Structure 1
Amino acid sequence: MGDPTDAPGGGPPQPGEDRAGGEGKKAKSEQRSLWKQLPILIAVAVVLALLIKTFLLQAFSIPSGSMQNTLQLGDRVLVDKLTPWFGSEPERGEVVVFHDPSNWLAGQPTSEPNVFQVVLSKIGLAPSADEKDLIKRVIAIGGDTVECRKGGPVKVNGKSLNEPYIYPGNTPCDDRPFGPLRVPEGTIWVLGDHRQDSADSRWHMDDPKTHGFVPVDDVVGRAIAVAWPVTRWATLPIPKTFEQPGIGNQAIAADPTGARAAAAASASMETG
């Protein structure tokens, strides 16, 4: 009999052949395993994105020029949704996103989202087209007295605000003076930075439901940063003017006569 190693294709495999074959099978097995794990990885990513959207951060698109020049049309801002879960309430000077409190957006044009936008909105990477939200700056909070006379500055608890964030060429309130008004507890008074292009609290004082005040319960969260476009990356800090001494509610206690006048004006507005 001939040696089996002499036969074509016969004989034991060479050492390199066995190793290469094993590595090929291992690579194929890992590839199949990856494809099996991919749906799980995608599902985990979607769940994490949903949790982040619900409890931590959400991206919102700026639909108008009412907050220029702080925010531009088309900017994407990141909104902190976590701190409200721990009882944190809006503070003076913050830029906040809130649900439409009383049909403030009536008559505003709306666009139909495409499928891509719908998918992204579900996982928090794009704003929901179904949510009617607004973005403004908090000027006064519950218990504050706020006013603005034609030709003058906005005043909170008797303290004049220095507002460098107001759109160039705008006045603080010449197109719609207001107050003095006492902000009810559990609500906020909001204004747009582009004062002459913002349908903010001033323009809803006659609303029978809100009188221009936004319920804190309607606040989604604070806008903390501009995330897109990358050329506009920036944080949104509280302006220094809201940190001046005496702007807190203690100013009302120090001036009970002014407080009574403000309360009377607020009561008159609420029953009117």
Structure 2
Amino acid sequence: MVMAVVVKTFFLQAFYIPSESMEPTMLVDDKILVQKVSYWGGDVKRGDVVVFDDPGGWLSPEDSRHASNFVQSGLEKIGLFPTGGHLIKRVIGVGGDTIRCCSEGKLTVNGKELDESYLLDESATKDKTFEVKVRKGYLWVMGDNRGNSYDSRGHLGDPGGGQVSEKSVVGKAWLRVWPFGRAGFIHKPETFETVNRK
């Protein structure tokens, strides 16, 4: 049990996907492992799929659900049952980046258009026009299902302006363990490799 708590705290933690916001990358009720080692130094990168604590008011009561019985609740606490009450999104921008939507329907980061072939429907991105400068120590996050993701765009009017503190990041989505037919490592798309920091 002690080892399980140590692993959950510092290395790996299990989560499930509660909504359609990350389709097609993640489907509802997918079970994933999130690894924490990459962020020991706080170096979150563009394109990473991250799990983070609710910044405040992002989750509905249904999305905040936890284990429903005593046994599952105990297993959840030591990291052996998928945890609820968190969000999972893709990092689009890090501190210092300027995010703009949209140039002919494409999102830009520091003036570079993103080819987001991993999206469920890339045309859904242009539904909301905005330009933001990401503050140091914060992230701009969006779901891969842009037409059905309440992400940073939907919180522009919040006190935090839709930006998520790096301190609230639990870890990086690393491995899908369920369903077995879709099990495998979660890879970052190459589209972000050409974006330069301003």
1:216 aligns with 2:171: no
Higher relative contact order (CA 8 A, sep 6+): 2
Given that residues 96 and 135 in structure 1 are in contact (C-alpha distance below 8 angstroms), is that contact kept between their aligned partners in structure 2? yes
Structure 2 residue 47 is matched with structure 1 residue 99:
no
Per-residue CA distance 1:228-258 (angstroms, 9 max, x = gap): 12111121111111112xx121xx3xxxxxx
Q: How does 1:126-165 map to 2 (within 5 A)?
A: 126-129=81-84, 132-149=85-102, 151-165=104-118
Q: CA deviation at 1:116?
A: 2.7
Aligned-residue offset at 1:174: 2.4
Letter of the structure 2 residue corresponding to residue 192 of structure 1: G
* Structure 2 counterparts to residues 177-256 of structure 1, below 5 A: 177-179=129-131, 181-208=132-159, 210-244=160-194, 247-249=195-197, 252=198
Flag as ranges the 4+ runs of structure 1 deviating above 6 A.
Answer: none
Counterparts in 2 of 1:102 and 1:218: CA distance versus 1, 3 Å: same
TM-score, structure 1 as length reference: 0.68
Amino acid at match of 2:111: G
Distance 1:107 1:120, change over 3 A: closer
Instruction: Name the structure where strand makes up a greater proportion of residues.
Output: 2
**Letter of the structure 2 residue corresponding to residue 191 of structure 1:** M
Partner SS, residue 123 of structure 2: coil
Which position in structure 1 is the counterpart of 2:22?
A: 67
Shift of 1:170: 4.6
CA contact (8 A) 1:176 1:203 kept: no
Bigger-Rg structure (1/2)? 1
1:3 equivalent in structure 2: none
Whole-Å Cα distance in 2 between the matches of residues 111 and 183 of structure 1?
Answer: 30
1:95-150 deviation digits (Å, cap 9, x = unpaired): 00000112211454554611232122022111335xx2100000010001111127
Partners of 2:38 and 2:136 in 1: CA distance: 19
Alignment of structure 1 residues 163-182 onto 2, 5 Å: 163-167=116-120, 169-179=121-131, 181-182=132-133
- In structure 1, what is the Cα distance between the partners aligned to 2:185 and 2:101? 28
Instruction: Output the CA distance in 2 between the equivalents of 1:76 and 1:93.
Output: 20
SS in structure 1 of the partner of residue 75 of structure 2: helix
Match of 1:241, as an amino acid?
Answer: T
* Structure 2 gap segments, 5+ residues each: none
Structure 1 residues 119 and 108, CA gap change in structure 2 (3 angstroms): closer
Structure 1: gaps spanning 5 or more residues? 1-45, 253-272
Percent identity of the aligned residues?
44
Please report how far the alpha carbon of residue 172 of structure 1 lies from its aligned counterpart in structure 2 after TM superposition: 4.7
The alignment partner of 2:125 has SS state of coil
Contact 1:101–1:218 (CA under 8 A) maintained in structure 2:
yes
Query: Does structure 1 retain, via aligned residues, the 8 Å contact 2:101–2:108?
Result: yes
TM-score (norm 2): 0.93
Q: Distance in 1 between matches of 2:188 and 2:104?
A: 25
Cα distance between partner residues in 2 of 1:116 and 1:57: 20
What residue in structure 2 maps to residue 261 of structure 1?
none
Distance in 1 between residues matched to 2:190 and 2:103, nearest whole Å: 24
Contact 2:14 2:83 in 1 (8 A): no
Give the residue type in structure 1 aligned to 2:55. Answer: P
The number of residue pairs the alignment matches comes to 197
